[in-house]
Structure 1
Amino acid sequence: MPALSMPAGFDFTDPALWGTRNPVQEFAALRRSAPVWWNAQTDEQSGGFRDGGYWVVTKHEDIKEISRKPELFSSQQKGSVIRLPGEVTLEQIELTGALLLNMDPPKHTKIRRIISKGFTPRAVEGLRNALTERAVAIVHAAKKEGGGDFVEQIACELPLQAIAELIGVPQEDRRQLFDWSNQMLNYDDPEYADTTTTTTSNNAFVEVLSYAWNMAEQRRAIPVDDIVSQLVHADIDGDALGSDEFGFFVILLAVAGNETTRNAITHGMKAFVDNPEQWELFKQQRPRTAPDEIIRWASPVTVFQRTATEDTELGGQLIRKGQRVGLFYSSANFDEDAFDRPFEFDILRDPNPHLAFGGTGAHFCVGANLARLEIELMFNALADAMPNLSQIAEPERLSSGWINGIKHWHVRYD
C-alpha cells in the first residue's frame, strides 16, 4: 500500500484545525489508504506528552477492537485525553488517574459498578418529568428574546440542569458549575486565552473537586434520599465512593456529561436547519431513532486515546509498547463500511452502530441513556415552541484538539 501524503506538520489534534473545520476529506483518505497512520508531532504539538506523536485510527472496526482490549490498550498509562496544554507534565497526567475515563480494570470495573447506580434505567427515567419542565422553560425563555446565541440560551442549559438535578446541586450553584466546566476545557481556544489559562483550568479542576468533596462529606454525615448518599454509603457488598472519588466523578460529569451533550444539541439543530426535510419529519413523527443519529452526526468527542502496553499489530502497522493510539470517533462514525450513506443525516437510521459513546467495551459511556433523554426532551421542546427556527450566521467552532465544539451560533427563533 503506498504511503499517504499529508502536508508537512499536519496534526489531527491541532486546535486551530478543529476551530476552522472537521477534517472530513483527510479522514476519508486515511480510511481508504492508511487506516492506521502515524501522526508525527513536535514536542510543542504533542501538548504535554513529548513522545514523537501517535497513531491515528480511523476505521470503525479497528476502534471497536481496541475498545474491547483494555489489557492491551491502556486508558491509564497516559490518560484518555489526547491533547493537553504544553505545560502539563507526564507526572501531572498520572494524577488524573482518579477519573473513570483514565482507569483500567480492575479498578475501573469497581468504580464503574458503583457509579452505575446513578444511571439505571429507573434512575434516568425518574428525571424525565423534572427535565421536561426545564427543557420547556429553557426554550420558552429563549423564544421571548426572538433570537440570539443558541449555545448560550438553549444548548448549554439542559445538560447542566440534568447533572445538577442528578446529584442535587442547588439551583443557585449551577451556573458556577457551568463556568468551571468551561474553564477546565477551553484552554486551547484563543477567545478564552485571557481568561482560561492552564492555571485557571487547574484552579477550576480544584474548585469542582472541592465542591463535590464537601457535598460527599455532608451526605456521609447526614444521608438523604438522593444519589449522592447512595454513592458514598456502602451497600450490602461494601462498595462505596470515597469523597475524593465522588469529586472526580463530578468532574467527569461536568466534562463528559455537560460539554458533550450541549454540543450534540447544537450540532443536531444545525443539522436540522441544513436538512429541513428531516426537521419536518421530526416534528411530525418524533422517532425514537433521532437522538442516536444526532449524536452520531455530532460526534461531540472527536477522539480519545489509549497507550499500547506491549508491541502489537493493528491495520498492518506495528504499534510499539508505550505509543499512543488515537481512536477517532469522528472518522469511524462516517465509515462507509459501517454505515449506509454515512454523510446523510437520517433520523430514521436503524441500526445505528455509532461509537460516539466511546465505542464498545469497558469505557462505553455510563451516562448514555441520560444523554439520549436530554436530547429527546430538548428537541421535543424546540419542535413545539420553535418550529421555524432559522440561522442568522454560521456557527463559530471551538478550537480544541479533542472536542467537536460550537462556541456561538446566532439564530432567529421565529
Structure 2
Amino acid sequence: MYRRSPSLDAIDVFSPTRYLAGIPHDDFRLLRTEAPVHRHPDPQRPAGFWAVTRHADVVQVSRSSPTFSSNRSTCFLDEVPDEKLAEQQLMMLNLDPPEHSRLRSLVNRGFTPRMISRMRTRLEQACASIVDDALRVGTGDFVELVSAELPLIVIAELMGVPMEDRSKLFEWSVHLASTPELGSEQATTAAMAVYQYANGLGAAKRSCPADDIVSRLVAPDDTGRELSELEFDLFFLLLMFAGNETTRNAISGGMRAMIENPEQWERLRSDPDLAPLAADEIVRWVSPVNAFRRTATKDVELGGELISEGDKVVVFYSSANFDETVFADPLAFDIGRTPNPQIGFGGGGPHFCLGRHLAMHEIEIMFRTLAERIHRVELTGPVRRLRSNFINGITEMPVRLIPA
C-alpha cells in the first residue's frame, strides 16, 4: 500500500478543463512516483475511480480484458446515461472478446501492413498536394491548412465516402470530440447526423458493393450473420472518429513540437529518412488518446492496491508515454529516440489500434513532405487546445509557412 501524500489531494487529471493547457505532466509525474494506482475523485461516482499512470500497469490492464472489461460499462471516462448505455455497449470499443474479435475481423483486412503499403503512393501524392496548397496560401490555421485534410482523404477512400462529403466527416468528428459529455445535445445531434449518413451509404454499398470497408461491413460474414443497423451505424461512427481525430491531432501536435524544438526540425530537414522514428516520437509526445476506462470483473491487485469487482479503472496513455522508468529524459522531444515503446495506440491486447500502421504511414509521409518543402513554420498567434479529457488535441494553430 502506498503512503498518501497531502499533495495528491490537489491532483485532478479527470476534468476536461485541466487539459486546455496541455498534458498535466507534473500531476502525472507525482502519481507515477507516489501512487501509480491512485483512488481519484470522480464527480459522477462517489467511489471515484482508479487512475493507472505507469507504463507497465497500463500495459497489464490493456492486455487483461477478462479482468478489466470494456463492456461492463464503456471505455469512455464519463459515465453514460442509463438510457444510452445499452446502445453504446454495441460499439466495438466497448465490447470484450469474443464479440469484439468477430466485429474487428470484419475490417481487419483493410488495415493490414500489406494493404497499407499499397496506399503509400496515394499518401505521398496527397501529402504533396496538401503541403503545396498550404504554401500557396502562406498563412492560416495549420489544422485547417495541413492536418485535417490528409486523414479525411484517407478515411473517405477506405470507407468509400465520396470525396465531396469529407467535410461532413470533419464537422461531425469535431463536434463529437469537443463534447466529451456523451448525453449532450451537440453530441447527440452529431451522432444522429452520422447515423443518417451511414444508413444511406450502407444502402448504396449493399446494392453496389466496392473494394472498401463499408462494403465489407454491410455484407454477411462467413457464417451468414449481418450487422444490425445500429451496429453498423456505431461502427461507421467509430471509424470516422478514430480515423480523423487521432491522426489530425498527432500531425498538429507534432508540428507544434517541431516549432518549440527547432533543432529537431532542422534535424529532420537535414535527414528526412528520420521520418519513421519522428512519427513514433510524435505519437508518444502528443498521445492523441489521453485515456480509456475499464471496469474490474473481479477483485484484483494492481500496483500494490486492491481493486474490487465493479470498480472503475482509467488507464492514462499520456502518463505512461512519459514514464521515467521506460523513457530516458521523457520530457525531451527527440525524433531519433530509439527504442521507443510508446503506447499511443494502446497498450496491446484486443483493443490495440487496428489502424496503427495506416496512422504511422500518414504521419511519417506528411512530416517527410513538410521537411522537404518547408524551411520554417512560425506561430503567428496563440494555440488553442481541445477541452477534453479523452482526446489531446489542438483546435487552432495560426502559422506562417516559409518555403524551402
Give the TM-score of the pair, scaled to structure 1.
0.91
Paired residues for 1:4-153 under 5 Å: 4-6=5-7, 10-41=11-42, 45-46=43-44, 50-83=45-78, 88-153=80-145
Secondary structure in structure 2 of the residue aligned to 1:387: strand
Counterpart check, 1:328 vs 2:323: no
Aligned counterparts of 1:238 and 1:283: Cα–Cα separation in 2: 52
* Counterpart for residue 192 of structure 1: none
Call closer, same or farther: CA 1:317–1:407 in 2, change over 3 Å: same
Structure 1 stretch displaced more, 109-118 or 128-137: 128-137
Aligned counterparts of 2:221 and 2:73: Cα–Cα separation in 1: 32
Call closer, same or farther: CA 1:131–1:245 in 2, change over 3 Å: farther
Q: What is the CA deviation profile of residues 212-239 of structure 1, one whole-angstrom value per residue up to 9, with x for unaligned ones? A: 2222222222223333323332455656
Paired residues for 1:323-402 under 5 Å: 323-402=311-390
Structure 1: which amino acid aligns with 2:251? I
Aligned counterparts of 2:14 and 2:320: Cα–Cα separation in 1: 16
Structure 1 stretch displaced more, 328-337 or 236-245: 236-245
Q: Give the conservation status (yes or no) of the 8 Å contact 1:329–1:356.
A: yes
Give the length in aligned residue pairs: 399
* Counterpart for residue 252 of structure 2: 266
Q: Once the 2 structures are TM-superposed, how far is the Cα of residue 157 of structure 1 from its aligned partner?
A: 1.3
User: Over aligned residues, Cα RMSD in angstroms?
Assistant: 2.0
Q: 2:292 aligns with which of 304, 316, 320?
A: 304
Aligned counterparts of 2:265 and 2:174: Cα–Cα separation in 1: 30
Q: Once the 2 structures are TM-superposed, how far is the Cα of residue 393 of structure 1 from its aligned partner?
A: 3.0
Paired residues for 1:231-270 under 5 Å: 231-234=217-220, 236=222, 238=224, 241-270=227-256
Structure 1: which amino acid aligns with 2:350? A
Q: Once the 2 structures are TM-superposed, how far is the Cα of residue 394 of structure 1 from its aligned partner?
A: 4.0
Q: Give the conservation status (yes or no) of the 8 Å contact 1:216–1:243.
A: no
Q: Give the conservation status (yes or no) of the 8 Å contact 1:213–1:244.
A: no
Aligned counterparts of 2:55 and 2:184: Cα–Cα separation in 1: 34
Secondary structure in structure 2 of the residue aligned to 1:144: helix
Q: Once the 2 structures are TM-superposed, how far is the Cα of residue 181 of structure 1 from its aligned partner?
A: 0.9
Aligned counterparts of 2:269 and 2:161: Cα–Cα separation in 1: 33
Q: Give the conservation status (yes or no) of the 8 Å contact 2:106–2:216.
A: no
Q: Give the conservation status (yes or no) of the 8 Å contact 1:13–1:83.
A: no
Q: Once the 2 structures are TM-superposed, how far is the Cα of residue 188 of structure 1 from its aligned partner?
A: 5.3
Paired residues for 1:199-238 under 5 Å: 199-234=185-220, 236=222, 238=224
Secondary structure in structure 2 of the residue aligned to 1:389: strand
Give the TM-score of the pair, scaled to structure 2.
0.93
Aligned counterparts of 2:49 and 2:254: Cα–Cα separation in 1: 30
Structure 1: which amino acid aligns with 2:298? E
Q: Which runs of 5+ in 2 are unaligned?
A: none
Aligned counterparts of 2:285 and 2:191: Cα–Cα separation in 1: 30
Q: Which runs of 5+ in 1 are unaligned?
A: 190-195
Structure 1 stretch displaced more, 210-219 or 149-158: 210-219
Structure 2: which amino acid aligns with 1:148? G
Paired residues for 1:168-207 under 5 Å: 168-187=160-179, 198-207=184-193
Q: Give the conservation status (yes or no) of the 8 Å contact 2:147–2:248.
A: yes
Q: Once the 2 structures are TM-superposed, how far is the Cα of residue 3 of structure 1 from its aligned partner?
A: 0.5
Q: Give the conservation status (yes or no) of the 8 Å contact 1:232–1:243.
A: no
Q: What is the CA deviation profile of residues 58-92 of structure 1, one whole-angstrom value per residue up to 9, with x for unaligned ones? A: 100001111111011001112111026xxx51341
Q: Once the 2 structures are TM-superposed, how far is the Cα of residue 264 of structure 1 from its aligned partner?
A: 0.6
Structure 1: which amino acid aligns with 2:285? W
Call closer, same or farther: CA 1:156–1:350 in 2, change over 3 Å: same
Q: 2:146 aligns with which of 144, 149, 154?
A: 154
Q: What is the CA deviation profile of residues 158-199 of structure 1, one whole-angstrom value per residue up to 9, with x for unaligned ones? A: 11111111111111111011111111121259xxxxxx9911
* Counterpart for residue 3 of structure 2: 2
Aligned counterparts of 2:232 and 2:268: Cα–Cα separation in 1: 38
Q: Give the conservation status (yes or no) of the 8 Å contact 1:357–1:365.
A: yes
Q: Once the 2 structures are TM-superposed, how far is the Cα of residue 323 of structure 1 from its aligned partner?
A: 1.1
Aligned counterparts of 2:294 and 2:96: Cα–Cα separation in 1: 10
Counterpart check, 1:408 vs 2:396: yes
Q: Once the 2 structures are TM-superposed, how far is the Cα of residue 106 of structure 1 from its aligned partner?
A: 0.7
Q: Give the conservation status (yes or no) of the 8 Å contact 1:78–1:94.
A: no
Q: Give the conservation status (yes or no) of the 8 Å contact 2:11–2:27.
A: no
Counterpart check, 1:283 vs 2:273: no
Aligned counterparts of 1:374 and 1:209: Cα–Cα separation in 2: 27
Aligned counterparts of 1:78 and 1:234: Cα–Cα separation in 2: 28
Aligned counterparts of 1:316 and 1:5: Cα–Cα separation in 2: 19
Percent identity over paired residues: 43
Q: Once the 2 structures are TM-superposed, how far is the Cα of residue 241 of structure 1 from its aligned partner?
A: 4.4
Q: Once the 2 structures are TM-superposed, how far is the Cα of residue 306 of structure 1 from its aligned partner?
A: 0.4
Aligned counterparts of 1:391 and 1:239: Cα–Cα separation in 2: 52
Q: Give the conservation status (yes or no) of the 8 Å contact 1:159–1:262.
A: yes
